[in-house]
Structure 1
Amino acid sequence: MKKPIAWILDTTGYVTDEFQSHPDVYVVPLNIHFDAEEYIDDGVDLSNTQLYEKIKSAKEFPKTSQPSAGKFAELYEKLKDQYECAIAVHASAKMSGTIASSTAGAEMTGFKVYAVDSLALSYGLSGLIERGMLLAQQGKTAEEIAHRLEQETHDFRNYILIGNLSQLYKGGRMSGAQYYLGSLLKVKPIVQITAEGELQPIDKVRSHKKAIQYLIDLANQDHQEYGIERFQIMHANVHGEAESLKQEVLKIAPQAEILIGDLSSSLAVHAGEGTIALMWRKPAI
């Protein structure tokens, strides 16, 4: 007898400890390229520590690539004998072609896959899968779950403090003049993935301390208005700062459940070492 639902995510999402040990969760990794060298973003082929060291010494800016349709087809071919269908939650289509590869892989195998554009990255994917699992426990069908998750993508809030301007500059996401002025003035750019799934700057703050306070103020605003009690802090090799931010959030929401996690390698390549993000989801209605 087949199981009802397999859960799929790619490595732009945060792979929680629960996901790593869950028998029905499958993670499809992106690829990271340093010149002619290619690594799989699985935490084994290239650890985060190794990634940051390679970035510092690399002559060319590293790139990432989505999993191929063939890679997804290989997985789905195996799963179609074990499951009735799958729900796949992927990075925003505005920032990655992964969902297109996933859909193409499903078509190649004839396996029913409900592909959900998270309109997000990192915990934006993971939180939707957690939500989907809860809905499945409540007896919802896969089609109902996928539809509900698509509706709830707009409830995700994320505020990202970029930690390394030079990495944005190397990656072509900042002009030379912007990089020079930003470094000179010690500007801390804060960006957000919008409700449409696009990455856009929302503010520039003149000190790291003020930037952290900016994140806390936004969290407090939604805590007061919506009673938010679950937050996620994602970081790129700055665990101490993440712990410090957690303590500050607990000052405004003492009962809050706060998860701290590493940005995946495929995200850290673009965000840069030192990046820290504060995320949460508004309560589903």
Structure 2
Amino acid sequence: MKKPIAWIMDTTGFVTEEFKAHPDVYIVPLTIHFGAEEFIDDGVDLTNDDLYKRIKEATSLPKTSQPSAGKFAELYNKLQEQYECAIAVHASAKLSGTIASSTAGAEMSGFKVYAIDSLALSYGLSGLVERGFELEEQGLKAEEIAQRLEKETTNFRNYILIGNLSQLYKGGRMSGAHYYLGSLLQIKPIVQLTADGELKPIDKVRSHNKAIQYLIKHAQKDHEDYGVRRFQIMHGHTMKEAESLKQEVLKIIPDADILIGDLSSSLAVHAGEETLALLWRKDDL
């Protein structure tokens, strides 16, 4: 007898230890390109330490590429022997072509795959997969789960404090004048994955401390308004700052449940070392 649902995600999401150990979760990695060199984004082929070291030394930023439709088709051909269907949760289509490859791969294989645009990256993607586990345990069928997850993409909240302006500059996302002034004035850009899945600047804050308080203020509001107490802190190779942010959140929300993890490589190559992101789902009651 076939199992009901295989769960698919890509490495733009935060790959938790639970996902790695889960027998029905399949992680499809992106590829990171440093010039002619290619690395599989699996944390083994290129560790986080190596990634940031290479980024720091590079004159231009690395590029990322989604898995091909053929890679997905190969996986789906194998899975249809064991599962009735799959639910695939992928990075925002505005930021990555992964969901298009996944959908094309499903068509090539003839396997039923419910592909969901998370409209997010990092834990915004992973949190939907975890939510899917809960719905499956409640007895919902795959189609119902997929429909619920698509609706719940709007519950994701995120505030991202850019850590390294030089990376934005090298990536062509900031002019030389803006880079100089931003560094001189210690301006901290704050960006956000919007409700339609785009990554956009939403504010600029003077000083690191003010930026941290900016993040916490928004978390506190949703805690007070909606009872949110589960938060995620994603960081770009700066665990000390992530731990500090956690302690600051706990001062305001003492019963908060906070997970700390690394930024996905796809976001790290753009956002930069020392980036901090505070994330949560508005329906976490």
TM-score normalised by the shorter chain: which range applies? over 0.9
- 1:183 CA displacement: 1.0
Give the corresponding residue for 1:260. Answer: 260
After superposing the two structures, state which structure 1 stretch, 250-259 or 152-161, moved more. Answer: 250-259
**1:154 equivalent in alignment to 2:145:** no
| Alignment map for 1:231-246 (pairs within 5 Å) | 231-246=231-246
3-state SS of paired residue (1:214): helix
Aligned partners of 1:135 and 1:284: how far apart in 2? 14
The offset of 1:284, in angstroms, is 6.8
CA distance in 2, matches of 1:267, 1:3: 34
**Which residue does the alignment assign to 2:114?**
114
Q: Work out the CA distance in 2 between the residues paired with 1:244 and 1:57.
A: 27
Q: Distance in 2 between matches of 1:258 and 1:245?
A: 10
1:27-38 matched pairs, under 5 angstroms:
27-38=27-38
1:1-285 equivalence runs, <5 A: 1-283=1-283
Equivalent residue letter for 2:176: G
Following the alignment from structure 1 to structure 2, what is the Cα–Cα distance between the partners of residues 266 and 37? 16
More moved, 94-103 vs 172-181: 172-181
Q: Which amino acid in structure 1 is aligned with residue 156 of structure 2?
A: F
Between the aligned partners of 1:35 and 1:231, the Cα distance in structure 2 is 36
Distance in 1 of aligned mates of 2:64 and 2:149: 27
Task: Please give the alpha-carbon distance, in whole angstroms, between the structure 1 residues aligned to 2:3 and 2:101.
Answer: 24
SS at match of 2:133: helix
Query: Could you tell me the TM-score, scaled by structure 1's length?
Result: 0.98
Task: Indicate the larger mover: 271-280 or 257-266.
Answer: 257-266
CA-to-aligned-CA distance 1:207-244 (integer Å, 9 cap, x gap):
00100010011100111111111000000110011011
Letter aligned with residue 50 of structure 1: D
Say if 1:161 and 1:188, in contact at 8 Å, map to a contact too.
Answer: yes
Do the aligned residues in 2 keep the contact of 1:11 with 1:29 (CA within 8 Å)? yes
Q: SS state of the match for residue 244, structure 1?
A: helix
Q: Percent identical across equivalent pairs?
A: 78
Structure 1: 5+ residue runs without aligned partners? none
Shift in Å, 1:84? 0.4
In the aligned structure 1, how far is the partner of 2:134 from the partner of 2:30? 27
Shift of 1:251: 1.2
Q: Report the secondary structure of 2:76's partner residue.
A: helix
- Measure, in 2, the Cα distance between the counterparts of 1:249 and 1:55: 30
AA matched with 1:163? G
User: CA offsets, 1:59-97, max 9 Å, x none?
Assistant: 332111111111111111110101000000000001111
- Using structure 2 for the length normalisation, give the TM-score: 0.98
Q: Is contact 1:64-1:266 (8 Å) kept?
A: yes
Look up the equivalent residue of 2:91 and give its one-letter code: A
